[in-house]
């Protein structure tokens, strides 16, 4: 399977901030931005793998660096920065631009992991990555460390999930309700 360049999976989506997207601080709701990140990232994953379906395996990190205001435009860029056998790490960056002054700032960075699925909904092999730019190379070279952290976090999450109760709160015999 031939390697691909990250630019082949790049997705760029620019949109305005609507009043319905704002929280009580008059900045973009984090959840609204998370939905936009996931939407762009899955397209990058599908574009890279050419799979009909890719699923979000992990939202590895989302770092909100600067608030986004209603007067800003929001540009989400995503591309595949690293691959495993069937998984793809997608790097996302969000650039906010003040539409009045033209000032641009890095508002958010994120790493998400997707898995490509075949027609039987089983993980399928994906092409590797061949970085070209300085940014792509930096992301590629630092990816194995992020991958190791992801695996450790996943194991810890599974361990924790095994010790969390599935009981409905009203079925908890230890707690007295009055």
Q: Collapsing DSSP states into helix, strand and coil, what is residue 41?
A: helix
Q: What is the DSSP letter of 13?
A: E
* pLDDT one-digit tens code per residue, 1-34: 899 999 999 999 999 999 999 999 999 999 999 9
* pLDDT one-digit tens code per residue, 52-66: 999 999 999 999 999
Instruction: Flag whether pLDDT at 45 surpasses 80.
Output: yes
Average per-residue pLDDT in the chain? 94
What pLDDT is stored for residue 112 in this prediction?
A: 97
With the CA atoms of 169, 56, 93 and 77 taken in that order, what torsion angle do they form, in degrees rounded to the nearest 10? -140
How would you classify the pairing of strands 11-16 and 53-64? unpaired
Burial of 43 (0-12, 13-18, 19+ CB in 10 A): middle
Instruction: Flag whether pLDDT at 176 surpasses 60.
Output: no
This prediction's pTM: 0.89
Distance separating alpha carbons of residues 113 and 44, to the nearest angstrom: 11
Domains in the chain with CATH codes: 6-162 (3.10.129.10)
Residue 159 host element (H or E): helix 134-161
What pLDDT is stored for residue 173 in this prediction?
A: 62
């Amino acid at each position: 399977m031939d390697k691909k360049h990250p630019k082949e999976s790049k997705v760029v989506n620019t949109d305005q901030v609507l009043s319905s997207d704002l929280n009580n601080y008059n900045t973009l709701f984090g959840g609204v931005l998370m939905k936009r990140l996931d939407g762009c990232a899955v397209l990058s994953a599908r574009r890279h793998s050419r799979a009909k379906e890719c699923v979000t395996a992990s939202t590895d990190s989302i770092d909100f660096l600067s608030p986004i205001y209603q007067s800003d435009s929001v540009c989400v860029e995503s591309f595949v920065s690293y691959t495993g056998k069937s998984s793809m790490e997608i790097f996302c960056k969000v650039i906010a631009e003040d539409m009045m002054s033209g000032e641009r700032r890095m508002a958010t960075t994120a790493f998400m992991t997707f898995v490509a699925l075949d027609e039987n909904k089983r993980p399928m092999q994906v092409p590797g990555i061949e970085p070209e730019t300085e940014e792509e190379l930096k992301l590629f070279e630092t990816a194995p460390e992020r991958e190791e952290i992801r695996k450790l976090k996943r194991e810890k999450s599974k361990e924790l999930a095994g010790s969390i109760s599935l009981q409905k709160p009203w079925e908890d015999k230890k707690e007295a309700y009055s």
